[in-house]
């Protein structure tokens, strides 16, 4: 017997109103969860109470059974309800610790319907925050939008479970002045999209992103009669199909893109792997302080020494400190062929003592380190129960210029430096540049003109340095001149000449950088960056060279104490760059017989206070060439790791510092005496 169709209407109405009531109750339940979070914040040391969760499920199963509901159904419903409750409580703590949800501007690569856009939407709907979206042409534009304040957050894909790491984003993270504040994993369901009236057999050209070609290679091999055209953006390829209006064209993109561009999905789930996920990072200008009760990850990038075993040595720190590494990825260092940077993710809160101690040790063993961020992560076990934040914790998470863990307050107050101190690192730091080892037992000679003047001049000097057994070529391109009317240097044109001369004669080159804006570009070209005496306390400049991976020669300011010199070095070390060496170049005293007074006692004093190499520049100290040789020899005698001298083929014609430039025969004599003739 068939029932009258009208009979179902009241039943459906009843179901609808039950569902509405369920939704109202779920919303009510959420409100109570937030209330509970507020209470827990004051009282409990741990807000995820596993026992309570188990009891709750057991109770619901029992009550459910009395209503005739099976336990599997009840368990799965309440599992979801509980997860939701934990999540909103976590969001509540995060928003309390940081700025709160509000309305955020989010930059992503692509246009609406791109996977980055979907990931961003998922992230913010989860947080219950409203967001406006800013689509950018390239990943670097996404980073720049946030760095410049046009957007609050950047969302960047970092890895895919099928095609692996997104190298361009890794490279960008290294330089970006952003901190990772979150991550989101998006299930990527690639679809083949075409005009609504197109059939699979009509398709001749498929537009897709190179990553999707990798992820859908099995499907694409089956369509061997189709031409693959690379496209920078998945959603954009959908847009193109709509605009071209050809049934022979298809695109690989999300179902959302099909909806936006009114296309139809010809084939769904075309990835090689059904479980195809992309992990996205969310980055902001300001680092996040993650509540210690929330499971979180820390990401860093480091450059280890390039001796055999140095990676293992750095990694063993994680084992020694019981830190769980969850990911390691390597990327070549563009300026140093065959050397690698390592990107590591590990479990733990940056503010915790355990992670601070671990990172401290990694810093000791690395040449460069940068913390990319500390952020909540869903798939980690909860941290061990602990007491709520103590006053000490608050202090240790205070933002200092350092991207690495700041030292305890007592150290900061006492000497003002820690990473530079012997107490921090007992062994001498040895800096290696293109086979030259600076520090330890060797004596290194840096020589060259005060300023690069012409191609010929720098080539002649380079040949002389090489022939006399010198190790590093110097040459100023950006000159810090006392008078604005004096020769200011040839700038980048001069730097190109210096680099060419260094390459021709196999000598690493050092040059001074004057402005923070020039640091990145100069670091791409020169092997060593020099911070001149006049800039020893240019803190913006110091922080900037702390972010690059080139060794830095820091000259002592002409009125600076040794403690001030070490605190200036600390800026660079705390910025992540562990390759710093110091240069004594004379200080201002009442004495007028010399340009400055060479403070030779600085060498043994510094050797006892710091593990950083220390060299002496007698040229700028004396200001007169006849004093340079004896002072250089004295520098060796007091234990300097090297000397730096100015030479010039025709000092009388020099555009700067001619009176102190050694003539070539004098330089040759100096080298004989420094190395007892051994170099010839």
Of 101, 82, 91, 77, residue with least CA distance to 29 = 82
- Which tokens is 96 given? 């309390």
Q: Kindly report the CA angle at 132 between 128 and 133, in degrees rounded to 5? A: 120
Of 343 and 478, CB closest to ligand PEP: 478
For ligand PEP, give the closer residue by CB, 341 or 615.
Answer: 615
> Which does residue 285 bind out of ligand PEP, Mn ion, none, counting CB within 5 to 8 angstroms by kind?
none
Please state whether beta strands 153-160 and 277-284 pair in parallel, antiparallel, or not at all (unpaired).
Answer: antiparallel
555 binds ligand PEP (CB under 6 A): yes
> Cβ of residue 309: shortest distance to ligand PEP, in angstroms?
36
Select from 80, 278, 103, 110 the least CA-distant residue to 183. 278
Q: State the minimum distance, in angstroms, from the CB of residue 582 to ligand PEP.
A: 12
- Among ligand PEP, Mn ion, none, what binds residue 365 when CB lies within 5 to 8 Å by partner kind? none
Distance of alpha carbon 600 from alpha carbon 36, whole angstroms: 66
Is the CB of 190 or the CB of 556 nearer to ligand PEP? Answer: 556
Please check whether residue 240 is in contact with residue 260, taking contact to mean a CB–CB distance below 8 angstroms: no
Q: Which is nearer to ligand PEP, 184 or 531 (CB)?
A: 531
Q: Write down the catalytic residue from 162, 212, 234, 278.
A: 278
Segment contacting ligand PEP by CB under 6 A, of 246-254, 330-338, 528-536, 561-569: 528-536
| Shortest Cβ 479–Mn ion spacing (Å) | 8
Applying CB under 6 A, the span of 39-47, 108-116, 527-535, 566-574 interacting with ligand PEP comes to: 527-535
Question: For residue 603, what are the CA distances in angstroms to 103, 556, 608, 621?
Answer: 56, 12, 9, 14
Report which of 139, 492, 104 is spatially closest to residue 281, judged by C-alpha positions.
139
- The answer to whether 532 contacts ligand PEP (rule: CB under 6 A) is yes
* Partner touching 585 among ligand PEP, Mn ion, none, CB below 5 to 8 Å by kind: ligand PEP
**Cα–Cα nearest to 180, from 155, 197, 217, 215:** 155
Question: How many chain residues are in contact with ligand PEP, going by CB under 6 A?
Answer: 10
Rounded least distance, CB 488 to ligand PEP, Å: 12
- Among 252, 522, 657, 664, the residue binding Mn ion under the rule CB under 5 A is 657
Among this protein's residues, is 280 annotated catalytic? yes
- Stretch near Mn ion under the rule CB under 5 A, chosen from 133-141, 327-335, 591-599, 656-664: 656-664
Q: Could you say whether residue 628 binds Mn ion (CB under 5 A)?
A: no
Distance of CA 293 to the CA centre of its chain: 25
Q: How far is the CB of 472 from ligand PEP (least distance, A)?
A: 13
Per DSSP, what are the bridge partners of residue 164?
160
**Residue 195 touches which of Mn ion, ligand PEP, none (Cβ within 5-8 Å per kind):** none
Residue 463 binding partner per list ligand PEP, Mn ion, none, with a CB distance cut-off of 5 to 8 Å that depends on partner kind: none
> Which residue, among 343, 318, 339, has the nearest Cα to 330 in the 3D structure?
343
Asked if 618 touches ligand PEP (CB under 6 A), the answer is no
> Is 667 a residue of the active site?
no
Q: What are phi and psi of 107, to 5 degrees?
A: -95, 140
516 binding partner (options Mn ion, ligand PEP, none; Cβ < 5 to 8 Å by kind): none
388 binds ligand PEP (CB under 6 A): no
195, 186 Cβ separation under 8 angstroms:
no
Q: Considering only 194-202, 355-363, 518-526, 532-540, which stretch makes contact with ligand PEP by CB under 6 A?
A: 532-540
**Residue number closest to Mn ion, CB atom:** 450
E strands, 380-527, in order: 431-433, 436-438, 444-448, 472-474, 509-512
391-450 residues near ligand PEP, rule: CB under 6 A: 450
Cα 343 from chain centroid (whole Å): 9
Q: Minimum distance between the CB of residue 482 and ligand PEP, rounded to whole angstroms? A: 9
Name the one residue in this structure whose structure tokens are 């080159």: 509
Which lies closer to ligand PEP via its Cβ, residue 402 or residue 461?
A: 461
Among 178, 260, 450, 562, binds Mn ion (CB under 5 A): 450
The binding track of 584-603 with respect to ligand PEP, each residue x by CB under 6 A or -, is -x------------------
Residue 620 touches ligand PEP, criterion: CB under 6 A? yes
Cβ count within 10 A of residue 389:
15
**Residue whose token pair is 């910025």:** 575
The Cα 301–Cα 174 span in angstroms is 7
- The correct pick among 529, 533, 542, 598 for binding ligand PEP (CB under 6 A) is 533
Instruction: Give the integer Cα–Cα distance in Å for 366 and 263.
Output: 52
464 or 584: whose CB is closer to ligand PEP? 584
CA distance 318 to 359: 9
Note whether 376 and 348 are within 8 A (CB): no
Instruction: Pick the piece of the chain touching ligand PEP (CB under 6 A) from 32-40, 66-74, 486-494, 531-539.
Output: 531-539
The residues, ordered by sequence, that sit 6+ positions from 177 with a Cβ below 8 Å of its Cβ are: 147, 285
Cβ neighbours for 241, distance < 8 A, ≥ 6 positions apart: 193, 194, 195, 207, 249, 250, 251, 261, 263
Nearest alpha carbon to residue 442 among 455, 429, 454: 429
Is-contact 594 627, C-beta < 8 A?
yes
**Please, are residues 582 and 642 in contact by the beta-carbon 8 Å criterion?**
no
Please tell me which residue in 78, 280, 342, 368 is annotated as part of the active site.
280
Residue closer to Mn ion (CB basis): 294 or 533: 533
Position 453 contacts ligand PEP (CB under 6 A)? no
Closest approach of Cβ 96 to ligand PEP, in Å? 49
Q: Which lies closer to ligand PEP via its Cβ, residue 215 or residue 567? A: 567
For residue 476, state whether it binds ligand PEP (rule: CB under 6 A): yes
Beta carbons of 525 and 495 less than 8 angstroms apart: yes
Among 408, 480, 516, 658, binds ligand PEP (CB under 6 A): 480
CB of 308 to ligand PEP, least distance (A): 35
Length of the chain: 680
Contacts of 27 (CB under 8 A, 6+ apart): none
Apex CA 363: angle with CA 360 and CA 369, to 5°? 125
List binders of Mn ion among 150-209 (CB under 5 A): none
What's the min distance (Å) between Cβ of 532 and Mn ion?
A: 9
Query: Interface with ligand PEP by CB under 6 A: which range of 9-17, 247-255, 274-282, 526-534?
Result: 526-534
By a kind-dependent CB cut-off of 5 to 8 A, residue 512 interacts, out of Mn ion, ligand PEP, none, with ligand PEP
Instruction: Find out whether 513 and 478 touch, Cβ atoms under 8 Å.
Output: yes
Instruction: State in angstroms the smallest separation of the CB of 409 from ligand PEP.
Output: 33
Residue 516 binding ligand PEP, by CB under 6 A: no
Residue 183 CA to its chain's centroid (Å):
16
193/533 with CB nearer ligand PEP: 533
Cβ proximity of 349 and 383 under 8 Å: yes
Catalytic residues: 278, 280
The contact set with ligand PEP (CB under 6 A) reads 450, 476, 480, 512, 532-534, 555, 585, 620
The contact set with Mn ion (CB under 5 A) reads 450, 657
């Amino acid at each position: 017997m068939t029932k009258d169709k009208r009979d179902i209407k009241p039943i459906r109405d009843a179901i609808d109103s039950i569902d509405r009531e369920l939704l109202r109750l779920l919303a009510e339940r959420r409100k109570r969860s937030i209330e509970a979070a507020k209470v827990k914040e004051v009282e409990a040391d741990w807000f995820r109470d596993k026992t309570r969760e188990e009891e709750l499920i057991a109770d619901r199963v029992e009550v459910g059974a009395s209503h005739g509901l099976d336990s599997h159904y009840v368990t799965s419903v309440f599992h979801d309800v509980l997860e939701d409750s934990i999540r909103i409580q976590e969001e509540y703590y995060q928003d309390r610790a940081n700025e709160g949800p509000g309305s955020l501007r989010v930059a992503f690569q692509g246009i609406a319907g791109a996977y980055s856009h979907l990931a961003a939407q998922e992230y913010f709907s989860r947080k219950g925050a409203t967001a406006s979206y800013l689509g950018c042409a390239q990943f670097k534009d996404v980073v720049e939008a946030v760095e410049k304040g046009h957007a609050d957050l950047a969302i960047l894909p970092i890895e895919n479970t099928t095609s692996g790491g997104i190298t361009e984003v890794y490279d960008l993270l290294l330089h970006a002045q952003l901190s990772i504040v979150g991550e989101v994993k998006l299930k990527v369901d690639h679809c083949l999209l075409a005009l609504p009236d197109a059939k699979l057999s009509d398709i001749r050209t498929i537009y897709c992103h190179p990553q999707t070609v990798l992820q859908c290679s099995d499907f694409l091999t089956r369509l061997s009669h189709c031409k693959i055209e690379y496209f920078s953006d998945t959603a954009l390829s959908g847009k193109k199909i709509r605009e071209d209006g050809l049934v022979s064209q298809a695109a690989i993109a999300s179902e959302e893109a099909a909806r936006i561009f009114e296309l139809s999905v010809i084939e769904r789930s075309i990835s090689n792997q059904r479980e195809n996920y992309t992990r996205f990072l969310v980055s902001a200008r300001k680092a996040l302080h993650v509540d210690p009760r929330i499971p979180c990850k820390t990401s860093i990038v480091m450059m280890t020494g390039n001796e055999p075993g140095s990676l293992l040595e750095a990694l063993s720190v994680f084992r020694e400190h019981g830190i769980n590494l969850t990911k390691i990825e390597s990327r070549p260092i563009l300026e140093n062929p065959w050397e690698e940077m390592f990107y590591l993710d590990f479990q733990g809160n940056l503010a915790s003592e355990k992670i601070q101690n671990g990172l401290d040790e990694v810093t000791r063993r690395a040449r460069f380190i940068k913390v990319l961020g500390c952020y909540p992560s869903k798939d980690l076990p909860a941290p061990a129960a602990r007491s709520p934040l103590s006053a000490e914790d608050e202090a240790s998470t205070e933002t200092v210029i350092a991207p690495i863990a700041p030292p305890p307050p007592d150290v900061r107050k006492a000497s003002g430096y820690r990473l530079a101190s012997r107490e921090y690192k007992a062994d001498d730091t040895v800096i290696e540049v293109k086979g030259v080892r600076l520090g330890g037992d060797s004596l290194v000679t840096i020589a060259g003109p005060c300023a690069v003047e012409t191609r010929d001049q720098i080539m002649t000097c380079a040949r002389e340095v090489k022939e006399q057994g010198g190790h590093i070529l110097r040459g100023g391109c950006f000159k810090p001149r006392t008078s604005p009317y004096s020769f200011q240097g040839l700038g980048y044109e001069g730097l190109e000449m210096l680099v060419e001369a260094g390459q021709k004669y196999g000598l690493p080159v050092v040059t001074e950088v004057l402005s923070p804006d020039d640091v990145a570009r100069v670091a791409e070209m020169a092997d060593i960056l020099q911070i001149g005496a006049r800039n020893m306390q240019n803190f913006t400049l110091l922080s900037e060279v702390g972010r690059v991976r080139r060794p830095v020669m820091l000259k002592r300011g002409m009125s600076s104490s040794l403690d001030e010199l070490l605190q200036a070095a600390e800026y660079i070390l705390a910025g992540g760059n562990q390759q710093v060496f110091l240069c004594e170049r004379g200080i201002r005293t009442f004495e007028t017989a010399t340009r400055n007074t060479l403070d030779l006692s600085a060498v043994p004093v510094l050797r006892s206070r710091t593990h950083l190499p220390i060299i002496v520049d007698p040229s700028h100290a004396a200001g007169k060439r006849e004093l340079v040789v004896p002072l250089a020899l004295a520098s060796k005698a007091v234990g300097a790791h090297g000397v730096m001298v100015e030479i010039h083929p025709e000092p009388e014609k020099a555009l700067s510092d001619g009176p102190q430039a050694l003539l070539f025969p004098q330089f040759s004599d100096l080298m004989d005496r420094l190395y007892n003739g051994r170099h010839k």
